[in-house]
A and B are shown apart, each in its own frame.
Chain A
Amino acid sequence: MDAVYTIWLRNVKRYLRSRSRIVGSLGMPLFFLVILGFGLNSVVTDSHMRGGYVGFIVPGIVAMSVLFTAVFSGIQIIWDKQFGFLKETLVAPVSRLSIMLGQTFGGATTALIQGFIILVLSLFLGLKVPGAAGFLVALGFMILIGVAFTAFGIAIASRMEDMHGFQLIMNFVIFPIFGLSGALFPIDRLPLWLRSLTYADPLTYGVEGIRYGLSGTATVPPLASLGALAAFAVAMVGIGAWLFRNIRF
């Protein structure tokens, strides 16, 4: 347990110290929120969307920001590998599982903070404050997204030699996961083929869960979202731990 905390602590320290990274990774979500949100606000009108299109995409953008930060935090293990720091942790008398868990919780924490900042900023953009309970539901889903996708990043990083594959992963895995998730559009009236892809995307359940917390309505029942996302998170932590155990350096 000590080791998990130690590695978590290092991740959080590094994160809090890198102001440019915090600000930098707020850029894209804010861009999406403001440009897309206000740009399409007048075009997209839907009786289901309380708070307009901006209000509709806030949960999606929060999820996006958690997703990107989480994957990025997980993939950072490659840097630790290249700069040699990973060796220092791997030769210590601690299990690889605890190193992996520390990294996962560390990444999830930074992702949660990042998502939380977006959430607070969107209050200024007109997001209506939900009840405390709804807010906590949203936070719970954000934590699950953070854990699942940091573990996902660690799993990928355990198999990657260097950062060259990073762009590939971003463009062909992470963006599709974001795009298909219903972060930017309602999923209930999609054509069947697209809807099935959407339901295969784990982030959909994260977005739906956060949306339920913040607006009280969602297409997918919240308990189903919770079950699907939690199962995905557990599976990812398992796969990530297994791949990390066999990491080569």
Chain B
Amino acid sequence: MDDQSPISPSPTHGAAGERAGPAVLVEHLSKEFDGLRAVDDVSFRIDSGRIFGLLGPNGAGKSTTLAMLATLLPPTAGAARINGFDIAGDPDGVRRSIGIVFQDQSLDEELTAWENMDFHGRLYHVPAAVRRQRTDELLALVGLAERQRSLVKTFSGGMRRRLEIARGLLHRPRVLFLDEPTLGLDPQTRNLLWGYIERLRDEERITMILTTHYMEEADRLCDEVAVIDHGRIIASGAPGTLKREVGQDTVTLATSDNGVVLERVRALPAVRRAEIAGDTIRVDLDRAEAHIAELVNVASAAGASISSVNVHTPTLEDVFLRLTGRTIREEEAGGRDRMRMAHRMWRR
């Protein structure tokens, strides 16, 4: 599967090995809690080496879907296969095929990073020699090699998350589950973590399914997203495709001679619409980033100098807004979530 992989290629140890077919195949999956449909007829498939995102507000049913796929919750209806194993019929096969990074931390803080890895490897029956080698490689991969002998309780939030990702990969799962991987992390740490996740996909070709309510996270990481709201998938596809469906890119130009430039810009084939807006020119077009040079060339050919160029492309936030009439941010402090947070505080 990955010849250039820096991780030792011995996929038969501990893991279930890669089987034919899509990495994940979900068909009409539903889950009811006391009459409430938390997940409602959800279907999707994920091919090997892709990052798939379940995107939606808190309480939309993302984590419930993930819990069913991880064999932690039995579905009310529907079926799913992971690495060819049925989640109901062969839960052990599924468990050997997946690695999970939970939304809430699941490390033993009283053990060192290395011991946490070792514990995991033993539980997944990874032979001692392979376990040690992979632990070293994975800790290096997530930048924790120097801290491997430190107790986890001395780790920052970002380090813990990285350790959990490394641990989730120790048994060479075919699919890595990431449940809100950057929840509660500061922007800088989040960026770093995104970098690690991208490396895993590009260098290790690991299939990942992640849930998030951060639009920019889904946009940056996912090859494909399913927008989920009230338990239903309301749209799915590549982030670019989804965004293109809701609207056009817009370029705002400020030049020394807006009138002349406007006329020439209108003549460009890529441009759908162009008009003066205040002291700028507003240009609607497809794939703005590909045509920005053209616009600049046109302006300079007209002898005008450009004082500013601004590109706006629709975001997944716009997609969600268009589909539901709400923004995801409004949903962030929704009732159920507040209850959950309160519950969590109470439990501490």
Binding site for B on A (CB under 8 A): 2-3, 5-6, 9-10, 13-14, 17-18, 82-94, 161-162
> Across the A-B interface, how many residue pairs have beta carbons closer than 8 Å?
65
Known pairs A2-B125, A91-B100, A161-B347; A13 contacts B115 (CB<8 A): yes
- Assess the B110–A14 pair: CB atoms within 8 A: yes
Cβ < 8 Å to A, chain B residues 90-137: 92, 95-96, 100, 102, 104-111, 115, 119-120, 122-125
User: In angstroms, how far is the closest chain A Cβ from the Cβ of B181?
Assistant: 15
Closest Cβ of chain B: how far from A171's Cβ, in Å?
Answer: 22
Q: What is the CB-to-nearest-CB distance from A117 to chain B, in angstroms, rounded to a whole number?
A: 21
Establish whether residues B110 and A17, one from each chain, have CB atoms under 8 Å apart when the complex forms.
yes
A14–B107 CA distance with the chains assembled, in angstroms = 13
* Contact A82 B347, CB 8 Å, known A14-B111, A91-B70: yes
Cβ-defined contact, B108 with A10, below 8 A: yes
Least CB distance, B96 to chain A, in whole angstroms: 5
Name B residues whose Cβ lies closer than 8 Å to a Cβ of A: 70-72, 92, 95-96, 100, 102, 104-111, 115, 119-120, 122-125, 347-348
How far apart are the CA atoms of A94 and B92 in the complex, in Å? 8
Residues from chain A with a CB closer than 8 A to the CB of B110 are 14, 17-18
Q: How far is the CA of A93 from the CA of B102 in the complex (A)?
A: 16
A94 to B171, CA, bound (A): 14
A89 to B116, CA, bound (A): 11
Kindly identify which residue among B72, B105, B122, B347 contacts A91, using a CB–CB cutoff of 8 Å: B72
Which among B104, B109, B122 has the highest number of chain A CB atoms within 10 Å? B122
Given A84-B106, A162-B347: A13 in contact with B111 (beta carbons within 8 A): yes
Would you call B106 and A93 a contact (CB within 8 A)? no
Per the bound structure, the CA–CA distance linking A83 and B102 in Å amounts to 12
Q: List 13 A-B contacts (CB under 8 A).
A: A2-B122, A6-B123, A13-B111, A18-B110, A84-B104, A84-B105, A85-B108, A87-B102, A88-B107, A91-B70, A91-B100, A92-B124, A94-B123
The 9 closest A-B pairs by CB, nearest first: A84-B106, A92-B123, A6-B122, A93-B95, A88-B106, A84-B104, A93-B92, A87-B106, A93-B96
Report the separation of the CA atoms of residues A6 and B104 in the bound assembly, to the nearest whole angstrom: 23
A162 to B122, CA, bound (A): 29
Among candidates B72, B100, B111, B348, residue contacting A82 with C-beta atoms closer than 8 Å: B348
Q: How far is the CB of B13 from chain A (nearest CB, A)?
A: 13
Query: B95 touching A92 by the CB < 8 A rule?
Result: yes
Q: How far is the CB of A52 from chain B (nearest CB, A)?
A: 41
Q: Which residues of A contact B71 (CB under 8 A)?
A: 91
Instruction: Return chain B residues, CB-CB under 8 Å to A86.
Output: 106
Residues of chain A with a CB closer than 8 A to B122's CB: 2-3, 5-6, 9
User: Which residues on A sit within 8 Å (CB–CB) of B105?
Assistant: 83-84
- Chain A's closest residue to B343 (CB) is A161
> Which residues from chain B contact A90 at a C-beta distance below 8 Å?
72
Q: Write out the residue numbers on chain B whose beta carbons fall within 8 Å of the beta carbon of A2.
A: 122-123, 125
| CB-based nearest B residue for A161 | B347
Q: Are B119 and A6 in contact (CB under 8 A)?
A: yes
> How many angstroms from the CA of A17 to the CA of B111 in the assembled complex?
9
Would you give the shortest CB distance from B123 to chain A, in whole angstroms?
4
Which residues in A have their C-beta under 8 angstroms from that of B347? 82, 161-162
**In the docked arrangement, what's the CA distance between A94 and B120, Å?**
11
- Within the assembled complex, what's the spacing in Å between the Cα atoms of A38 and B119? 46
Given the complex of chains A and B, what is the CA–CA distance between A13 and B92 in angstroms? 28
Considering the chains assembled together, what is the distance between the CA atoms of A86 and B106 in angstroms? 7
In the complex where A6-B119, A6-B122 touch, is A83 in contact with B109 (Cβ < 8 A)? yes
